[in-house]
Structure 1
Amino acid sequence: MSAMVDDDDISLPSDDELEEETTEVAEEEEVARDLSSTEVVTKYLEASRITNLALETLIPHIVAGAKILDLIKIGEALITKSLDKIYNKKVNGKPVLKGMAFPVCLSVNEKICNYTPLASEAPEDGLVAGDMVKIDLGCHIDGYIAVAAHTVCVSSQGTTPELPGPSAGTVCAAAHNAMLVAAATIKAGNTNAQVTTALDKVCEAYGVKCISNVRMHQMKHFVIDGPKEIALRAPNVDEGEERVETCTFEENEVYCVDIAMSTGEGKGREGTDRTTVYKRNVDQTYKLRMKASHYLLKAVTDNFPTMPFSLRMVSDERQAKMGVKECVDHNLLSAYPVFNERDGVFVAHYKCTVLLMPGGTRRVTGLGLPEYFTTDKVLDEENRKMLEEIREKEEKKRKKAEAKKKKKKKAAGK
């Protein structure tokens, strides 16, 4: 069982303190780029705070009638505005880079992930009560990345959502609990195979399947898809699924715990929706021929040199659409396709960021499971005990935070 570090163990500094720490770090000849540096930890925590805030702000707007593109703009505006408030002093004459680490995606019903439409192609119709919406987003500060995903059910404004079927509650409870189990299992000394085995038990207990082509990744400085991977389930080599090399987790590493589950076959397929999310392959070069391709590559190099982005974020959408194929064909850009399950299948997606601190694993992003996602399924004993320990710790943390808030309020009233 992994030791989960209390959120109060490391307090977030004020904006002034953040700027002072940034200046002090600039004076050092060598700067640690992992969690052994308190400055790096602080940046991860700040990015995580903003990522969670974006989810919390966006969720109340996901109601019947709301349009997907409008919701995406709300999330991205919140992240941009929050980042604008911190780390604004230059370091060695250069600004601290910060921004989206993953564009806001809203994937509805059978769509699993990566749906963030262009302005010219966004659905005109609003969401409908009972729709299952997967939110996926992230940001970074100085290349230190925090990502999260969350699943909600659309309700009429001011009402409790009515689930489209009991299986919807089951798959969401399964995916959320699987995220907690995986986060607790990712600790120094354990292997990725142990995480996959734990997830197999969750799927068996709930009668659902992990999406086979989703992977969890290590994250590093300016790298969202790091070298160490974790498979959600054992690959079926006969069907062309690639094996994941066994790896051991180490202290001071950071991981994205990415869980997608369905009540169907657990196979993500590319649908008819346009792929709009891409990432620059920084180690690849090619002499492009098309003017539109040159335009797109320059826009990416200037604005999204290392992180995933959406073509929607490029100023000239027409040029971006024209130039993207040549860039992808010559491996200058990697695509994040919109994956779908079969129609009528319920899909859940939850994601969090974990830091492998010296004192244990710390989950820094991700929200709690909405109360309306209920199920009569029961986890296996080992994972059930693990979840009980996690929830007990989180309850203690919540009470500690409330007591601290009351004490602070009382002191301010004197």
Structure 2
Amino acid sequence: MIMDDEVYDAYREAGALARRVLRRGAGLVKEGAGLLDMVEETETMVTEEGALLAFPLNVSFNEAAAHDTAMPGDERTFARGDLIKVDLGIHVDGYIADTAMTVDLGDHGALVEASRAALEAAIAAVRPGVATGELGTAIQTTIEEHGYRPVANLTGHGLDRYNLHAKPTIPNVAMTGGAVIEEGMVFAIEPFATTGSGRVGEATRVEIYRQVAARPTRLPSAKRVLEAARPRRGLPFSRRWVPGDKVEIGLSALVRAGILHPFPMLHDVPGSFVSQAEHTLIVTEGGCEVTTR
């Protein structure tokens, strides 16, 4: 795969910015702090730096693993004992950096380290010619050595311009084969370690959507939703980004019509805890460059 200097620089710029903003945003996760304030302040950091969000800031509590973000008027606060995943995606001219870390407000240090160590083990295995199944093996082996389970039905993913889920898929469990890694590939590796079942299911609540089709609609609330979605060029957006009332009506109509794809919050079993770590990397001739480290 060929990557010119302009594209390479955009990926590196996005990665450096994502690293800075993630650290600052994660620092806002404190006992008693409000989720909505933390999310909005972190998202504002991105635009103040001259970049754009690749997806709404994901902030997932405890057994939740992904696709949670603040609701309009959200009154949730961070509490002692919480395990909070902060997942940030930003882009520079469509070239994406996706990175995540886990903030421990309790006594979950070993679980947090399991996902961190698994991420580093997978990164160390990246080089051209390696099959993605080998990365999954490194992730699963490391997490199990720490005494936890990997989340089998969540994966890392390729990144392309304005495309958050391109090829290749990076498994979080051992498998034979998979895509062969090539120089110039860009992808995110994101291990999840859990005290629960090792699989996530969908909750009923949805805060994040993506436009997948362009068809006309007569419903005023649906038109407002599409006005918010259109500049995203197919990247996800949050319900709270849509102004006005009756937003739920418009969202529901567009999902039924196949114009929007919903992303329900994903969670392991109640009472469990999930940790996450994630970096974006560019595959090089001899290994990889981690853009978000």
TM-score of the superposition, structure 2-length normalised? 0.92
- Counterpart amino acid of residue 119 in structure 2: M
Instruction: Look up the match of 2:209.
Output: 278
Of 113, 116, 121, the residue aligned with 1:181 is 121
Q: Does 1:212 align with 2:152?
A: yes
Of 285, 289, 292, the residue aligned with 1:358 is 285
- In 2, distance between residues paired with 1:265 and 1:186? 28
Confirm or deny: 8 A CA contact 1:188 1:356 kept in the other structure: yes
Instruction: Look up the match of 1:309.
Output: 237
Deviation at 1:323, TM superposition (A): 1.2
Deviation at 1:285, TM superposition (A): 3.7
- Counterpart amino acid of residue 68 in structure 2: Y
- In 2, distance between residues paired with 1:36 and 1:133? 35
Equivalent runs, 1:364-379 vs 2, <5 Å: 364-366=291-293
Deviation at 1:360, TM superposition (A): 2.7
Equivalent runs, 1:108-147 vs 2, <5 Å: 108-120=61-73, 122-124=74-76, 126-147=77-98
Equivalent runs, 1:394-409 vs 2, <5 Å: none
**1:319-377, Cα deviation, whole Å (9 max, x unpaired):** 432111222223322222211122221210111101112343011215xxxxxxxxxxx
- In 2, distance between residues paired with 1:42 and 1:234? 33
- Higher Rg: 1
Say which structure is richer in helix: 1
- Counterpart amino acid of residue 274 in structure 2: V
- Counterpart amino acid of residue 66 in structure 2: C
Q: Does 1:47 align with 2:14?
A: yes
- Counterpart amino acid of residue 279 in structure 1: R
Deviation at 1:147, TM superposition (A): 1.0
Residues 35 and 310 of structure 1, relative CA distance in 2, 3 Å threshold:
farther
Instruction: Look up the match of 1:231.
Output: 171
* SS class of match (2:272): coil
Residues 45 and 169 of structure 1, relative CA distance in 2, 3 Å threshold:
same
- Counterpart amino acid of residue 62 in structure 2: N
Instruction: Look up the match of 2:23.
Output: 56
Instruction: Look up the match of 1:381.
Output: none
Instruction: Look up the match of 1:268.
Output: 200
Residues 305 and 245 of structure 1, relative CA distance in 2, 3 Å threshold:
farther
CA root-mean-square deviation:
2.1
* SS class of match (1:338): strand
Identity between Structure 1 and Structure 2 (%): 26
Of 295, 307, 311, the residue aligned with 2:224 is 295
- In 1, distance between residues paired with 2:240 and 2:159? 25
Deviation at 1:171, TM superposition (A): 1.9
Instruction: Look up the match of 1:249.
Output: 181
Deviation at 1:35, TM superposition (A): 6.0
- Counterpart amino acid of residue 99 in structure 1: L
- Counterpart amino acid of residue 111 in structure 1: A
The 10-residue stretch of structure 1 (109-118 or 250-259) with the greater mean CA deviation from structure 2: 109-118
Deviation at 1:49, TM superposition (A): 1.3
Say which structure is richer in strand: 2
Instruction: Look up the match of 2:190.
Output: 258
- In 1, distance between residues paired with 2:254 and 2:125? 39
Aligned pair count reads 293
Q: Does 1:202 align with 2:142?
A: yes
- Counterpart amino acid of residue 91 in structure 2: H
* SS class of match (2:275): strand
- In 1, distance between residues paired with 2:58 and 2:170? 22
Instruction: Look up the match of 1:334.
Output: 261
Confirm or deny: 8 A CA contact 2:131 2:177 kept in the other structure: no
Q: Which runs of 5+ in 2 are unaligned?
A: none
- Counterpart amino acid of residue 198 in structure 2: G
Task: Return structure 1 stretches of 4+ with deviation > 4 angstroms.
Answer: none
